[in-house]
């Protein structure tokens, strides 16, 4: 068995022709282990085996948030993710954290051990993140840009249980033409639309009755760049009720 960050295995004995690798993913991804058979090549350039797998994008976003939470905000703001003292650059970049400094500042960063929520006197503080991904489309005939964006919801540390924790999400689009409302029920909470200019989206999350929570509303302003944008909030929830979704 090997462990992060490089998962290296060095042996000095007769090499087999094939090595079977079992990759055990982080629990937040909600994925079963991946089996890859690799053929050893005893030459200078070695050999590599490529295996493509399906990964939930929201789960990947959650993992990124959890990794950034472990880094003091002062270090992230001043030096950026790849210049953190004592952290190997290659290992950190392998987690997909090679991102602009502005995005790291916008992310909610607190010094707590993930993925457990912060505990308070009356319960736990549960973090909720809404955000948008963005794709630039070809310009229209009049030369104006067109944008395709997708709203999503993340519950760091509970992404695997998101579809059971949330009953539905209501998106209210506050455009210059008026107010449009979209209601998405579990398990799909992603909304994809097209527009010509950015505006605000009010996201109201209706929780599972077992959590005993009132609906939570976050107002997110669309960000049209390569990485999109995120808006977060924390809510107080009973630790006993939250335990059923852990």
What's the rounded mean pLDDT across residues 106-127?
55
DSSP letters, 26-38, are -GGG----EEEEE
Residue 51 confidence (pLDDT) above 50: yes
Q: Which of the 8 DSSP states describes residue 226?
A: T
Which pTM does this prediction carry?
0.53
Q: Mind listing the pLDDT tens digit for each residue in 159-207? A: 889 999 999 999 999 877 778 899 999 999 999 998 888 899 999 999 9
Structural domains counted in the chain: 1
- Cβ atoms of 33 and 47 closer than 8 Å: no
Asked, for residue 167, whether it belongs to a domain, the answer is yes
Indicate which CATH number applies to the domain containing 67: 2.60.40.1970
Q: How many angstroms separate the CA atoms of 81 and 72, rounded?
A: 11
Q: How many angstroms separate the CA atoms of 51 and 106, rounded?
A: 34
Q: How many angstroms separate the CA atoms of 50 and 37, rounded?
A: 10
- Please choose, from the candidates 38, 36, 42, 35, the residue with its C-alpha nearest in 3D space to the C-alpha of residue 14: 42
Asked, for residue 98, whether it belongs to a domain, the answer is yes
Asked, for residue 4, whether it belongs to a domain, the answer is no
Residue 102 confidence (pLDDT) above 50: no
Asked, for residue 183, whether it belongs to a domain, the answer is yes
Asked, for residue 230, whether it belongs to a domain, the answer is yes
Q: By residue range, what is the domain housing residue 183?
A: 58-245
Asked, for residue 123, whether it belongs to a domain, the answer is yes
Lowest-confidence range among 81-90, 121-130, 181-190?
Answer: 81-90
Q: How many angstroms separate the CA atoms of 210 and 237, rounded?
A: 11
Q: Mind listing the pLDDT tens digit for each residue in 160-171? A: 899 999 999 999
Mean pLDDT of the chain: 76
Percent of the chain clearing pLDDT 90 (strictly above) = 29
- Confidence at residue 78, expressed as pLDDT on a 0 to 100 scale: 46
Asked, for residue 32, whether it belongs to a domain, the answer is no
- Tokens 């500042």, residue located: 105
Q: Is 76 helix (H, G, I), strand (E, B) or coil?
A: helix
DSSP letters, 180-197, are EEEEEETT---EEEEESS
Phi/psi at 168 (5° precision): -160, 160
Distance from chain centroid for Cα 42: 39
């Amino acid at each position: 068995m090997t462990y992060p960050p490089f998962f290296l295995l060095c042996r000095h004995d007769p090499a087999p022709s094939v090595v079977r690798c079992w990759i055990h993913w982080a629990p937040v991804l909600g994925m079963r282990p991946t089996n890859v058979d690799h053929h050893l090549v005893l030459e200078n350039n070695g050999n590599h085996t490529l295996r493509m797998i399906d990964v939930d994008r929201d789960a990947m976003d959650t993992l990124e948030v959890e990794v950034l939470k472990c880094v003091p905000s002062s270090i992230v703001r001043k030096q950026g993710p790849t210049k953190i003292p004592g952290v190997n650059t290659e290992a950190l970049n392998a987690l997909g954290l090679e991102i602009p400094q502005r995005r790291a500042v916008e992310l909610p960063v607190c010094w707590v051990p993930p993925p457990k929520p912060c505990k308070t006197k009356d319960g736990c503080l549960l973090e909720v993140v809404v955000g948008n991904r963005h794709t630039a489309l070809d310009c229209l005939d009049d030369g104006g840009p067109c944008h395709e964006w997708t709203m999503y919801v993340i519950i760091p540390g509970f992404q695997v249980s998101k579809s059971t924790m949330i009953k539905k999400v209501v998106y209210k689009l506050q455009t210059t033409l008026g107010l449009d409302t979209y209601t998405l029920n579990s398990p799909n909470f992603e909304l994809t639309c097209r527009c010509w200019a950015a505006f605000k989206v009010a996201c109201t999350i209706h929780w599972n009755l077992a959590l005993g929570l009132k609906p939570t509303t976050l107002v997110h302003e669309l960000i049209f760049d390569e990485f999109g944008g995120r808006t977060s909030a924390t809510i107080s929830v009973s630790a006993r009720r939250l335990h059923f979704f852990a």
